[in-house]
Structures are given as C-alpha cells and as structure tokens.
Amino acid sequence: MAQVNYNAHTVAAKQDFMFLLATENERGRFYASEAGERSNGLIGYLRGDFGSGGDDFYTNWFDCDLRLKRPPFKKEFDMLVNYLRWLGLLGSLKEMETYCNTHKHTSLTDWLSPAFGFKVSGRENDYFIRATPRHRDYNFYIMCYQRKEESEVLL
C-alpha cells in the first residue's frame, strides 16, 4: 500500500464529495478531449499511474481553461485526490482493482480495456474519474468540470 500522510481534513472530505452515477449524456465526459470540451466547462484533467511496482503515484496535470482554475477549485481538487487515495481508488494498483471490483456496476463496457467510471460531485465542480486497473498503463484520468447540471441517481 502506498504511504500517504492524511490529516483530519482528508477524512472530513467525505462530507464534501458525493458519488453519483453518470447519466448516459455524461458518459463522454470520462473520455473528453481538451479541444472538444473547453466550451463545456472543462477546467483540466489529471492523468496518473502507479508505476511499474503498482505502489507509486505519478501524475501529470493538463490545463484546459485557465479562467476556471481558481483557488477554490485547486483546494477542492487537492482534497478530492487525497480523499480518493484514502478510499483506495487511487491508493495503489491493487487497491484500485479491489475498489473497482467492488463497484462493478460502474464498468465502462464500451472501452477496450477494463475501465470503470466514477462521477464525484464536489461543492463547486464535478469530477469524472476513469479508472483502469491494468499494470503498465495509465491507471486513471480525472476530468474536472465546472458544474453545469445535477445528477439524479446516487450510487
């Protein structure tokens, strides 16, 4: 298991985030490209993997709309990533695999490799997380959107 120092704010974060089922119209947001989504409130996205051993945590951030990348977003996003690591979804490759297998109903069956989609609603933004628990691949993408609409169905 990857070692991460969590503080009380990380555990309290579960009050700030709600897991929702993405609607059919939102499914494309798990795969969105920068160019096609700028007009739809895409702030940016984080791409990451767990390294060759499955326990590291490597990420790259890609900006899409700098106007939307304000301090409240940065704070919320940082809290979200720490919370997802604490939950196990972004803890390690093994933890991700366990988490995804526990939530098989989130499978994105139209994807070529095993992938799972999680929509997380924060206080101001929505996050579409595509998790791919496969060794030697990018294991996750977190697409960050300024909130536009509410989902109706809870996980």
- Higher per-residue pLDDT: 148 or 73: 73
**pLDDT tops 80 at residue 20:** yes
Q: Residue 63 phi/psi, 5° resolution?
A: -75, 145
Q: Please give the structure tokens belonging to residue 16.
A: 């700030």
The predicted structure's pLDDT at residue 37: 57
For residue 15, the 8-state DSSP code is: G
- How far apart (Å, rounded) are the C-alpha atoms in residues 110 and 125? 26
At 151 the three-state DSSP class reads coil
The predicted structure's pLDDT at residue 27: 86
pLDDT digits (tens, 9 = 90+) for 88-110: 999 999 999 999 999 998 998 76
Angle at 79 between CA 92 and CA 66, to 5 degrees: 105
Q: How does residue 78 score in pLDDT terms, banded at 50, 70 and 90?
A: very high
**pLDDT tops 60 at residue 1:** no
- Higher per-residue pLDDT: 40 or 144: 144
Q: Which residues, including other chains, have CB under 8 Å from residue 138's CB and lie 6 or more apart? A: 47, 48, 49, 132
**Closest by Cα among 47, 73, 50, 42 to 60:** 47
**Closest by Cα among 130, 98, 103 to 117:** 130
Q: Residue 128 phi/psi, 5° resolution?
A: -110, 110
- How far apart (Å, rounded) are the C-alpha atoms in residues 107 and 42? 23
Q: Which of 29-33, 134-138, 150-154 has the highest average model confidence (pLDDT)?
A: 134-138
The predicted structure's pLDDT at residue 7: 52
Q: Residue 18 phi/psi, 5° resolution?
A: -130, 125
Q: How does residue 152 score in pLDDT terms, banded at 50, 70 and 90?
A: very low
The predicted structure's pLDDT at residue 2: 45
Q: How does residue 14 score in pLDDT terms, banded at 50, 70 and 90?
A: low
Q: Return the domain boundaries, the chain.
A: 17-146
Q: What is the CA radius of gyration of the chain?
A: 15
